[in-house]
Amino acid sequence: MPATKTTIGDNGVVTDLDTAQAGSSGFSPYKLPNIKAKTSAVTLTPAEAGVITVSGSTALTLVMPKADECPGAIFAIRTLSNHAHALTGSQEAEGTRVFALLASGSSQTKGSKLTFPVGGLAGATTGGGPSVALMSDGKNFLVIGASGSVVISGT
C-alpha cells in the first residue's frame, strides 16, 4: 500500500500519494488545479484527470488513457462547440469495451466509443453543451454522471 499524506490548502483537501502512483496528488487522489481546454484531437494522460473542455471548428476525438493506469481518476469532459465530439479507448486492446453506463434507459451500456451528439443538450447556446463524468475503476471508465445526451457504441 502506498504512503499517503492529506493536507488542506488553497486547493481544498489534497492527498499526496507515493510517486509510483499515476497522478501523484489530488482530491483523493487527483487534484483539479485548473480546467484544461482541448481544441485538437489528442491522447489524454492520467495526469490530465479533472475538468476538460472540448471545442473546435469540427468534431474532435480524444483518446482516453488506459483505465488500469489511472484507477480512481475522474475525467469531467464538457463540450463547448456544437459538433459530435467523441472519446475512444483506442489505447486498450482491440475489442475492449472501455465505457460502461450504469444508468437504465440506454440502448447500449458498454462500448469502445462515447459520442456527444450534435445538439445533445436541449436549449444549449454558446458556452455549453453536453458533458460527461467518467471514473476509472482500473478496468473501465464508468459513466458516473452526464448532462445532455451521450451515445456509447462499438465493441
Nearest to 150 by CA among 80, 78, 90: 78
Q: What is the average per-residue pLDDT within 134-146?
A: 90
The set of cell numbers assigned to 36 is 484544461
Nearest to 23 by CA among 46, 54, 52: 46
Beta-sheet pairing, 99-101 with 110-111: antiparallel
**pLDDT band at 119, cuts 50/70/90?**
low
Contact of 111 with 151, CB cutoff 8 Å: no
- Distance from the first to the final alpha carbon of the chain: 34
d(CA 80, CA 78) in angstroms, rounded, equals 7
- Picking from 20-34, 54-68, 76-90, which range would have the lowest pLDDT averaged per residue? 20-34
Q: What is the average per-residue pLDDT within 7-20?
A: 61
d(CA 3, CA 16) in angstroms, rounded, equals 8
Beta-sheet pairing, 61-63 with 42-43: parallel
**pLDDT band at 102, cuts 50/70/90?**
low
Q: How many residues does the chain have?
A: 155
Q: What is the average per-residue pLDDT within 95-109?
A: 68
31 dihedral zone (left: phi>0; alpha: psi -120 to 50; beta): beta
Greatest alpha-carbon pair distance for the chain in Å reads 47
- Picking from 11-15, 48-52, 97-101, 149-153, which range would have the lowest pLDDT averaged per residue? 11-15
Residue 91 has pLDDT above 90, yes or no: no
